[in-house]
Amino acid sequence: MTDLPVADFLSALLGSGLLLAVPLLLAALGEAFAERAGLLNLGIEGMMLGGAFAGFAVALETGRIAAGVAAGAALGVALGSGFGLLTIWLRVDQVLTGLAITILGSGLTGFLYRDLYGGQNRPLPTTAARLDLPVLTDVPVVGRALFGQPLLVYLAWAAVPIAALVLGRTRFGLAVRAVGEAPFAADAAGIGVAQTRFAAILIGGAAAGLGGAFLAVVDVRTFTDNMTLGQGFLALALTMLGRWRPWRILAGALLFGMLRSLETGLPILGMDVRPEFVGMLPYLGLLAALVVLARRAAMPAALGVPYERGRR
């Protein structure tokens, strides 16, 4: 059976690729809401790191994965409301605010990790429960990878149609898109611009915190300094690549997760490549994809512009 490694390779690629895609998918879906509402959140990176650390700390103290995940999402909501207060209420520059949150997230998590846990590699004692779908897991090659994942993975997948439905077919989704495209018209039509944007950034913050918590608590099962490694920024790029549409964002996140899992997958095929070289490829692929798919993408017209009634 000389072709066995290929099956192993595909299975590993799919299995770890799906896990790697989840934090990106969650963060990018949340950012789609924020950007559709006119808010560019460069703080995602800091929110993800915060969610990762809060999730890790709570899961470690309580021994409960679910508590950690909830804590990550809650911290994301808190940071999101901070972003909202500064950019919507005080009309502070969004890029400035986002970068401030990212610096704070990186600094505070690194500080507390060292201070509380001595900077040691502390693995979580518990593993997230896997939801094995009977029969389906027995499908060769893809079975285990697709249908033997932690519960949160399925929830992340389920978030895609929900996000598409909410953005595309509900009154709230319409309001989000309206305040991002034409806030003055939306205001005149009786839509609360500030409230809608605030709701959108809370969704974005929760999703980013959840993504970070997933990374630390479910996937890696520990915390390390700056463990998000720019994934928050990557989520921004994926949001743009997917043109703020949930299904396209899912496609981008999956593709990117697979490309990143090549790092672990290629050695299975006996290929001797340096991880850094493989690590570079997804980003180059992303740039190429942006050129092909997102050039001259029509951004939400009011993206990055603070709204002030009566001041056009």
Positions touching another protein (CB under 8 A) are 40, 42, 86, 90-97, 99-108, 110-111, 114-115, 119, 229-230, 233-234, 236-237, 240, 274, 276-277, 279-280, 283-284, 286-287, 290-291, 294-299, 301, 303-305
Please identify, using beta-carbon distances, which residue of 171 and 274 lies nearer to another protein.
274
- Report in angstroms how near the CB of residue 47 gets to another protein at its nearest: 13
**Cβ closest to another protein, residue 85 vs residue 133:** 85
* E strands in 178-298: none
User: Which residues neighbour 122 within 8 Å (Cβ) at sequence distance 6 or greater?
Assistant: 60, 222, 223
Name the token pair of 81.
């409301």
Q: How far is the CB of 76 from another protein (least distance, A)?
A: 17
CA pair distance 74, 238, nearest whole angstrom:
24
Q: How far is the CB of 221 from another protein (least distance, A)?
A: 23
The DSSP code for 129 is: P
Specify the residue, 5 or 275, whose C-beta has the smaller distance to another protein.
275
CB 64 to another protein: min, Å = 25
Cβ atoms 14, 142 nearer than 8 A: yes
For 130, list phi and psi in degrees, rounded to 5: -95, 140
User: How many whole angstroms separate alpha carbon 57 and alpha carbon 67?
Assistant: 10
CB of 132 to another protein, least distance (A): 34
CA distance 43 to 95: 8
- CA 38, CA 186: separation in Å to the nearest integer? 12
Pick between residue 147 and residue 256 the one whose CB is nearest to another protein: 256
Closest to another protein by CB, 23 vs 150, is: 23
